[in-house]
Amino acid sequence: MTSLTQYDDLFVHQSPLPLTQPATTDMRFFERCYFNVHDQQGEFSLCVGLGSYPNLNTMDGFAVGVTRDDPQQHNARFFRELHGDPTHLDVGALHLDIVEPMRRWRLRMDPNAYDIDFDLEMEVRFDPWDTRLHATHEGVLVFDYATFVQSVTYRGRVRIGDRTIESEELAGCRDRSFGLRPVGGIPMPAGAGRPFGAHYWLNPQFEDSAYFVLCTESDEGEQLSVHGGIAGGKYDGRTIVAMEHELTLREGIRIHREGVIRLTDDTGHVHELRTQAALPGVYLLGGGYFSKQGKPLGDHDEGEKYDVASEDPRVLSRYLADFGADQPALYTLAETGEQGYGVLEYQLGPDHKKYPANDFH
């Protein structure tokens, strides 16, 4: 009975197991949170995340950030063993506190060797958009998880390199997810590969509204799934049912420069968003995606700096830039001319037809 915790006294169980034990033995089971933080002038962008993998006895966290003044992306990653208690959201220098569930969090990163730290209070703007992502490849389950996204505001302090930003009016979104997905160090099930050719995840933040879209498509450009909607403003509550995109990428590498995205809502109205890169891309390899997240490394920390302002595609390819990024972007609503900021996340497979991969050999 040593796996019992104080939370097992709550009436919230979903299986005959203590809450510290998932109702599956699948090693890929995870819980994660992700935050992006930015101003509305395109001066900086910060991504923060934490993941718990109870069947691997590990927790990890990261922060990656860029500023307009610095040609480098600063990366910090931290790992620890769970020791049977995933409820403490502390790993290395990163500390997350749920002040009020679904409403308020506190995000802190202590000073460390990687030149990135912060102390932020997060508060939500709108109710969350929630969905379920389920995908198979040749009959093998690759993804099966629930996720929700909320538009949020932040106040506090962020330091990235030599730049410190203090503000009461920072913006962004948060993402919570839990279920099954590929994790570092665990081979994909036999025969499984990428279940889609590309995915796009965007969350522009405007003064009175926020958009959220998660779209996947085949290598040929066929839309496989689309989730999301609009919170606040004139079109509050409308659901997105289709997405079209025309992205202009940098020569020699698939990095977003500008573009047009058309979102059709459930009434048939088309929302045209014009996009423009606001800062160098934030490459999530720096946060441990695609290699380290979920990998049992014991109590460990690491980090580095990426030369994200390089004009050489071969340099940027080291950070998987040709695969995708969380691109800080300026969005303009064609209907009104209103401008907002947010992340344009895109991941493009090696066989994608519309935006073909580059050869760096």
CA dihedral 174, 286, 136, 358 (to 10 degrees): 120
pLDDT in tens, 272-329: 999 999 999 899 999 999 989 999 999 999 999 999 999 999 999 999 999 999 999 9
Q: 345, 324 in Cβ contact below 8 A?
A: yes
* Residue 180: closest CA among 202, 224, 212, 147: 147
pTM to 2 decimal places = 0.95
First to last CA, the chain: 56
* Residue 294: closest CA among 100, 91, 40: 91
* Segments forming the whole domain that contains residue 48: 27-348
* Residue 276: closest CA among 198, 199, 341, 230: 341
Q: Give me the mean pLDDT over the 76-89 stretch.
A: 90
**Residue 22 covered by a domain:** no
Domains held by the chain: number: 1
* Residue 24: closest CA among 61, 58, 50, 56: 56
How much is the pLDDT for 2? Answer: 55
**Residue 323 covered by a domain:** yes
Q: Are strands 339-348 and 116-124 parallel, antiparallel or unpaired?
A: unpaired
Residues 347 and 283: their CA atoms lie apart, in Å, by 11
How much is the pLDDT for 238? Answer: 97
Q: Give me the mean pLDDT over the 122-128 stretch.
A: 96
Residues 120 and 254: their CA atoms lie apart, in Å, by 33
How much is the pLDDT for 139? Answer: 85
Q: Which string of DSSP letters, residue by residue, matches 310-336?
A: -S-HHHHHTTTTTTEEEEEEEEEETTT
- Which stretches does DSSP call E strand in the chain? 29-38, 44-53, 58-67, 70-81, 90-91, 94-100, 104-109, 116-124, 129-137, 140-160, 163-180, 198-202, 209-217, 223-232, 240-249, 256-265, 270-277, 300-306, 324-333, 339-348
Q: Residue 295 corresponds to which tokens in the numbers above? A: 């990998």
**Residue 207 covered by a domain:** yes
**Residue 18 covered by a domain:** no
**Residue 209 covered by a domain:** yes
pLDDT in tens, 153-195: 999 999 999 999 999 999 999 999 999 998 887 888 777 888 8
**Residue 325 covered by a domain:** yes
* C-alpha pair distances (Å), 351 with each of 90, 106, 198, 309: 39, 41, 9, 26
**Residue 167 covered by a domain:** yes
Q: Give me the mean pLDDT over the 132-147 stretch.
A: 88
How much is the pLDDT for 1? Answer: 45
pLDDT at 349 over 50: yes
Q: Residue 193: which CATH number?
A: 2.40.370.10
**Across the strands, what pairs with 132?**
146
**Residue 354 covered by a domain:** no
